[in-house]
Structure 1
Amino acid sequence: MAGASSNPLISTARASDTSPTVQLHPLVLLTISDCITRHTLRQQTGPVVGAILGAQDGQNITMEVAFQAKLRANDDGEVALDDEWFGKRLEDFKDVHKQPQLDIVGWFTLGPASGPEPHILPIHSRISDLYTESPLLVLFHPENAFSEATAAGKLPLTLYESISVNTSSGPDDKAMDIDGAVQAKSTKFRELVYSIETGEAEMISVDFVARGGGNATAVEGSADAAAPKAESSKVDEAASKKAMRGKQKDKEKEKEKDTPIDESTILTVEDDEILSSLTAKMNALRMLSRRISLLRAYLDTLPPSYLSDPSLPLNPTVDAQHPLPLNHSILRSISAMLARINILAPPDSKAFNLESQQEASDVQLVSLLSSITTSVSAARELGHKSSIIEFGKNQNKNRMGVGSIGGYGSGDGNFFGTVMGGGGGAVDRW
């Protein structure tokens, strides 16, 4: 804290209720570590700077992915962002991460534990002016990478938010503020509290990367150890094999051309999906096995409990055989996990299978009753439609019968006109 208070860029004000809540994802940490490793191995000069993309929902901010930025020297000789390259790379990341939509929420660089230094202000101001109003700063501390705090689980980084404060220039500042005069503002940084947000998929991927790095280191070490022995044997065999290499390559090429391709060895898209699914499940099982082994090792190091032996004290002392003290919160979590195991794998499998069969029978019975009800309703509707059709047919038959009766004796169209109509011809006939 003394170093932080002596830094003029660090604000002494405490975080307010409007300060954001930050969730940091492991992919950002992996990207920062990769950038530092590449920068060191390539012996590059200049700062390590990168952008962090995430999502913001009110005061909740997530930092999910990151990428390294390209830098250049401006007219004043200061290190600045390459705006054209940075903007294009940012748009590419936005196109990739559309569901959910990610945008720049901050940036990262290297710095001491005492806080940000003045040379980072041009980059911070540029990001604030062009991309986001108040970007967060993730400051990684390389000197603390191998400290005791890091070994205990604390990450060697600090998260800051930027705030604008008025620079005091005299006793009349308050009056000038009342008069509406424009005051000079300076940027300061205030430390934020963050949490690590890790999903199951990220945990598996991070563990896989860590295991791969360890294997690569082991292979590299073994290769370096075996290099002197292999070199002497290769020198002896080089002279004898040099003349035969050209002929062997020609023969191998001819064999490859003549050999038909075995289609059974080519993986289809479905095979690739199944293989990736099995690989993910295998990694998940390995991680679960390591976690169970860790829990068992932790429980083995604990002293005997008073629950098994009432003569033991409630808070046993730590000794050489049992170096870890009792942590009741961890023990409660383990107990809760064991209580949930009965739900996942019930001890009485016969009763569980019987209950499952009964529930399945109930579901099938309800489905059968529903189908019967639907069939009865359909039959009733069919009968109703059939009665309407029969009634219509009977009406048509009745109409046809009435029409034939009305046309009887109509051969002479003037029958009723001559007999009952009172025509002149009728008077003559009668």
Structure 2
Amino acid sequence: MSAMDTDEVSVVLPPTTTSGLALSLHPLPILNISEHLTRLKLQKNRTDPFVLGALLGTQNGREVEIVNTFELATVDDDHERVDHDFLVSRRDQYKQVFPSLEFIGWYTVASKPTQHHINLQEQFTGYCSNPLLLILQPNLALVSSADVNAQTLPLKAYEPTIELKERKSRSVYIEVPYNVETGEAERIAVDWTARGGGSGTSLESHLQTQRSAVKMLHERILVLIKYVTDVIAGQARPDHSVLRSLTALLASLPASENKHFREEFDTEYEDVQLTAYLSALTKSTNILNDLVDKHIVLTMSKDERGPTGARRRMGRQGGPSDWDRFH
């Protein structure tokens, strides 16, 4: 456990203090933050890498939508100072692609907000008057559903505010409830991701399925072979219905080696090969034709390249064509 998780003074106001913010969270930020954490775990070989990123979205009064994210960097090993040059550069790049999205906050990974987050929070006020904080809490997966208060996602959102107590003020957070907002395109993308989208993942899933099917078929064939062997050896009791089914199955297998089937298969295979060869020959002919045309242009004299030469090449004056002259 890091030092930021052991602070005794809580920087989060009690649940009795509510925020009037209407917050909507889209699926893309959830996927981005999860992928960011997973990638850093693998790269740094650590279970608790420091994760920092920016939230992009829209705000209309007290209604806020978190639509997208991008990763951020720090300029020191203690992660106390944000790399503002990198932040501005990435923000401007996203602004060119998504002009309607604004910087509305930042995200990290922790069990709860601490004073360290308050210090980072102050560095984002120059980009947004009231930047939100979105925290991914992976440890919630280890807590029972009763302790999580029916929170379905290990994510919590916080709004910064000022607490006045005993004539002193300090920066604190108010937890903000949120709804997951999805559009039709986002639902399709999330479903595609959940199904293992991407050519490599899809192919791997398909091959795994094929392998399992072949393995299961092989195991069942071994069971049948053992049964027949035991029947022949007198170690198993013969079941005539099973034996008849096996006989029918074996009788259907040689059909694939029928003479007419083999002839038809060979004919279709040859037709496919011939079509492929013709396609390759046509492509080679086109390439050769382009090469000849370029060679003719390069070997023509200056006069032949003029309008008169062009008309002569087109055969309008009865003269020989370029192809005849070339040959």
TM-score (norm 1): 0.43
Among 14, 37, 41, which residue is 2:16 paired with? 14
Structure 1 residue 26: deviation in Å?
A: 0.3
Greater RCO, CA 8 A, separation 6+:
2
Tell me the amino acid that sits aligned with residue 108 of structure 1.
Y
Q: CA separation in 1, counterparts of 2:284 and 2:114?
A: 65
Q: Are 1:219 and 2:201 counterparts?
A: no
Question: In the alignment, which residue of structure 2 is the partner of 1:333?
Answer: none
Q: CA separation in 2, counterparts of 1:57 and 1:216?
A: 40
Residues 15, 175 of structure 2: 8 Å contact kept: no
Where do residues 46-61 of structure 1 align in structure 2 (5 Å cutoff)? Answer: 46-61=49-64
Question: In the alignment, which residue of structure 1 is the partner of 2:250?
Answer: none
Structure 1 residue 211: deviation in Å?
A: 1.1
Tell me the amino acid that sits aligned with residue 105 of structure 1.
I
SS of 1:32's partner is helix
Question: In the alignment, which residue of structure 1 is the partner of 2:135?
Answer: 139
Q: Are 1:156 and 2:154 counterparts?
A: yes
The structure-2 alpha-carbon separation of the partners of 1:261 and 1:37, relative to structure 1 and needing over 3 Å to count, comes to farther
Question: In the alignment, which residue of structure 1 is the partner of 2:122?
Answer: 125
Residues 111, 117 of structure 1: 8 Å contact kept: no
Structure 1 residue 14: deviation in Å?
A: 3.2
Structure 1 residue 221: deviation in Å?
A: 11
TM-score (norm 2): 0.55
Structure 1 residue 122: deviation in Å?
A: 2.2
SS of 2:12's partner is coil
Where do residues 5-84 of structure 1 align in structure 2 (5 Å cutoff)? Answer: 8-12=10-14, 14-16=16-18, 19-43=20-44, 46-73=49-76, 78-84=79-85
Question: In the alignment, which residue of structure 2 is the partner of 1:165?
Answer: 163
Structure 1 residue 54: deviation in Å?
A: 0.6
SS of 2:33's partner is helix
Among 205, 216, 241, which residue is 2:189 paired with? 205
Tell me the amino acid that sits aligned with residue 73 of structure 2.
K
Q: Which stretches of structure 1, 4 residues or more, deviate above 4 A after TM superposition?
A: 220-223
Counting helix residues as a fraction of each chain, which structure ranks higher? 1
Among 160, 177, 180, which residue is 1:196 paired with? 180
Gapped regions of structure 2 (runs ≥ 5): 212-279, 288-327
Q: In angstroms, what is the RMSD of aligned CA positions?
A: 3.5
Q: Based on CA coordinates, which of the two structures has the bigger radius of gyration?
A: 1
Structure 1 residue 133: deviation in Å?
A: 1.5
Residues 73, 86 of structure 2: 8 Å contact kept: yes
Q: CA separation in 1, counterparts of 2:37 and 2:118?
A: 21
Number of aligned residue pairs: give it. 207
CA deviations on 1:365-417 (whole Å, 9 max, x unpaired) are xxxxxxxxxxxxxxxxxxxxxxxxxxxxxxxxxxxxxxxxxxxxxxxxxxxxx
Question: In the alignment, which residue of structure 2 is the partner of 1:96?
Answer: 97
The structure-2 alpha-carbon separation of the partners of 1:260 and 1:90, relative to structure 1 and needing over 3 Å to count, comes to farther
Structure 1 residue 123: deviation in Å?
A: 1.6
Structure 1 residue 15: deviation in Å?
A: 4.1
The structure-2 alpha-carbon separation of the partners of 1:111 and 1:217, relative to structure 1 and needing over 3 Å to count, comes to farther
Where do residues 236-255 of structure 1 align in structure 2 (5 Å cutoff)? Answer: none
Structure 1 residue 213: deviation in Å?
A: 5.5
Structure 1 residue 72: deviation in Å?
A: 1.9
SS of 1:31's partner is helix
Structure 1 residue 108: deviation in Å?
A: 0.8
Question: In the alignment, which residue of structure 2 is the partner of 1:86?
Answer: 87
The structure-2 alpha-carbon separation of the partners of 1:259 and 1:63, relative to structure 1 and needing over 3 Å to count, comes to same
Q: CA separation in 1, counterparts of 2:191 and 2:64?
A: 25
Structure 1 residue 120: deviation in Å?
A: 2.0
Identical pairs, percent? 27
